[in-house]
Structure 1
Amino acid sequence: MKPIDLARLFLLAALWGSSYLFIRIAAPVLGVLFTISLRIILAAVALGLSGAIASPFKLKSRWQSYLLLGLFNNVIPFLLIAIAVVNLNASIAAILNATAPLFTAIVSAIWLKESLNKRKAIGLVLGIVGVTILVGWSPLPLSASVIFGGISALIAALSYGIAAVYARRRFIHDRVAETAFGQLTSSSILLIPVAFATFPQTLPSLEVIFAVAVLAIACTAVAYPLYFQLISNIGATGAITVAFLIPVFSLLFGNIFLGEPVNSGLIFGLITILLSVWLVINPKQQK
């Protein structure tokens, strides 16, 4: 793995890890579904404007592919995660979300015939273990709502895996900004009804407007081209190991900016996660 791709991976994890800070500011005022929808729609507008200035994007001939990518990488997982967080606590939701790289490896093995060697398999399992150590294990009494939330979180992780492999197969030679714009535009079209149905009744404060703007521009419009560049350079499974690193930055930013307590397993969890990422993306194992 090249140093530039390693830098991209950590920058992406930092951007997506910081998104939880801004969601915590915006969602209580605007609602989770409206915040998600507005984030995607504004990100599509931002990327569209950048494309108009630099080099126009050409989506017309491949709109069906972008629609599928947007459905599996944004609409389905975002809505399912919204369901999951209502029915699960934060630690279990984070652990289940960390299964996305495992699902990606399985889908890659089936669809792209990529080998799932022992080293990579150990790395994927270690990543889930590392996230568990990092966030802690807070069991919930088994109930219908907990089961429903757990299934929703797992399907969301599977959806991310399918999207990553699909992007690797379908868009590997495309401009990453164009792929991101196509995905976000198609997602916006699908989410517009959700935005109208959940439109807030109160005017947001400047703090909320700022949080949504950062979510849309930095955590989405900037982040997705990075993600698709990683998929192109190191593969779908390697790129989605970002899911192991996101909780690290989320906890750190929460502690620094919100004064939230840090789990005592932070250091050990971080070491385990870094080891897992190294095992998955170790270039000696890429055939």
Structure 2
Amino acid sequence: MGARPMSAGVWGLIVLLSLVWGGSFFLTEIILTGMGPLTLVTGRVGIAAVGLWVVIAIRGESLPRFGWIWLGLLAMGALNNVIPFSLISWGQTRIDSGVASILNATTPLFAVLVAHVFTQDEKLTVPRMVGVCCGVAGVAVLIGPNAITGLGDWREGALLGQCAGLAGALSYALAGVFGRRLRGLSPLVAATGMLTGSTILMVPISMIVEQPQAGPFPGLVPLAAVTAIALVCTAFAYLLYFRILARAGATNLLLVTLLIPVSALFLGSAFLGEAITPNALIGIGMIGAGLLAVDGRLMLLLYKPSTSSGA
């Protein structure tokens, strides 16, 4: 059975999420000039959690009090924040952001496989797999030959950074499937609980491993970047994340990682005057074709089963 096409509203949310998350790689590069990757992650999830608790209080909502739900939120926080944020941030100390973007774009590949194994309604189909592979190849073409060459860098530091990026992508895929268990919660409650759980896990880890409490104190620029990545690229982004997950499923949700480089490209063109190269246009076309294949709309256009009247 083919994938059910997504509505225009869901696609709009996915594009918006890609724009929001697209800035996180750039902000991470800035933040890492003033603090370690684990401290970065702690600040990111902690500030985001505080921001969402304020929203919870204003709206008069409350978080669940049952222990098993909080275990689920802690697990979701580990899979969706603690593990991938830490691995990808650490990886970016050894590889550049272009390579990190390509590795992050493998998330839908892992999502297709993980969803096939652990779900009943998101099974692997040929169009879906072909579409994801086409999309990942399109990301590589869009970002350019330098990043593709970087993928073949087998120096120990670069190789470890690439492995960290792939492990982070796998963790995101597992989180997308696990997060289906939280679909009974509102996006605000789910995001707040997950980020609170992430903060509880990250504070002792960062204090023991990197000891930011011992100083030196980060400068104003890294602190401003942490605040931005926390409130916009994390708190607001996860409100969108859980809304899309409830409406479109794990595999479709994680297509956003294919669109993040496209968003970064157009943002750079619009605000920084960066040129859009022929390679970029080819890559965008490949990503678009891949998204259509995964969505299922293309297959519905190419193959329309004939209807027959039954007795």
Whether 1:184 and 2:195 are equivalent positions in the alignment is yes
CA distance in 1, matches of 2:206, 2:65: 23
The CA distance in 2 between the partners of 1:10 and 1:198, in whole Å, is 38
Distance in 1 of aligned mates of 2:229 and 2:48: 8
Q: 1:283 to 1:264 in 2, by over 3 A?
A: closer
* Structure 1 residue corresponding to 2:230, chosen from 216, 240, 249: 216
Structure 1 unmatched ranges of 5 or more? none
Deviation at 1:34, TM superposition (A): 1.9
Residue in 2 that maps onto 1:107: 114
Match of 2:8 in 1: 3
Q: Does the CA-based 8 Å contact 2:127-2:296 persist in structure 1? A: no
Task: Tell me how far apart the structure 2 counterparts of residues 159 and 195 of structure 1 sit (CA, whole Å).
Answer: 19
Q: What does residue 157 of structure 1 align with?
A: 169
User: 2:164 corresponds to which letter in structure 1?
Assistant: S
Note if contact 1:20-1:250 (Cα within 8 Å) is conserved in structure 2. no
Give 3-state SS (helix, strand or coil) of 2:92's partner: helix
Q: Which residue of 2 aligns with 1:175?
A: 186
The structural deviation recorded for 1:283 is 5.7
Pick from 13, 35, 48 the counterpart of residue 53 of structure 2.
48
Deviation at 1:246, TM superposition (A): 0.8
Q: Give 1:188-207 correspondences, 5 Å limit.
A: 188-196=199-207, 197-199=210-212, 200-205=215-220, 207=221
Deviations 1:98-129 (A, max 9, x none): 11111111111101033211111111101110
Mapped partners of 1:271, 1:56: distance in 2:
44
Percent identical = 32
Q: How many residues align?
A: 284
The CA distance in 2 between the partners of 1:64 and 1:49, in whole Å, is 22
Query: Secondary structure of the equivalent of 2:12?
Result: helix
2: CA distance between counterparts of 1:64 and 1:96? Answer: 29
1:35-184 alignment to 2 at 5 Å? Answer: 35-54=40-59, 55-61=61-67, 62-113=69-120, 114-136=122-144, 137-139=148-150, 140-168=152-180, 170-184=181-195
Instruction: State the structure with more CA Rg.
Output: 2
TM-score (norm 2): 0.84
CA contact (8 A) 2:39 2:206 kept: yes
Query: How far does residue 188 in structure 1 lie from its aligned partner after superposition?
Result: 0.3
Could you tell me whether the CA contact under 8 Å between 2:191 and 2:242 is conserved in 1?
A: yes
For residues 22 and 93 of structure 1, do their structure 2 counterparts lie closer, same or farther at Cα, with a shift above 3 Å needed?
Answer: closer
2:254 counterpart letter in structure 1: I
Quote the offset at 1:132 in angstroms.
0.4
Letter in 2 for 1:57: L
Q: Is the partner of 1:87 in helix, strand or coil?
A: coil
Contact 2:28 2:89 in 1 (8 A): no
Give the direction of change, closer, same or farther, for the CA distance of 1:203–1:124 in structure 2 (3 Å limit): closer
1:277 is matched with which residue: 278, 291, 304?
Answer: 291
Could you state the TM-score of these two structures normalised by the residue count of structure 1? 0.90
Distance 1:50 1:248 in 2: 31
Question: Cα RMSD (Å) of the superposition?
Answer: 2.2
Written as runs of structure 1 = structure 2, the 5 A alignment for 1:10-29 is 10-29=15-34
CA distance in 2, matches of 1:149, 1:165: 25
Query: Is 21-30 or 152-161 further displaced after alignment?
Result: 21-30
Separation of aligned partners in 1, 2:297 and 2:225? 38
Q: Give the residue type in structure 2 aligned to 1:56.
A: S
Q: 1:192 to 1:260 in 2, by over 3 A?
A: farther
- Give the ranges of 4+ consecutive aligned residues of structure 1 lying more than 6 Å apart after TM superposition: none
Q: Which moved more, 1:49-58 or 1:147-156?
A: 147-156
